[in-house]
Amino acid sequence: MIAVILANAVAQSLQPSIYDSIIRIKKLPYLPELGWGHHEKYNIRVEDIMVRDVRYVTLNSTYRDLHDVLLSGHLKTLALVESA
């Protein structure tokens, strides 16, 4: 039993797993390992980057509401929500 555990530990440390090999061969996107000591630069909250003033229209919006939203500024996207 100890030999199996030791062999498994050695095999995992010497080569990537079969799943990692398939990801690299097929050139699929993957998340790299962050490692120890690098977690500080990833300490970003959603509220730090989110857009707070989202312009939206609902299914009950009038044509005037849609017209006002479209003329209010340079919008790249417009959210359509079921209810406000």
Per-residue pLDDT of 34-56, as tens digits, reads 666 666 667 788 888 888 888 88
Region of 13 (left: φ > 0; alpha: ψ -120 to 50; beta: rest) is alpha
Report the amino acid identity of residue 68. D
The region that residue 55 occupies, defined by phi over 0 for left and psi between -120 and 50 for alpha, beta otherwise, is beta
Is residue 26 very low, low, confident or very high in pLDDT (cuts 50, 70, 90)?
very high
Q: Is the pLDDT of residue 14 over 70?
A: yes
CA 65 vs. chain centroid, Å, equals 32
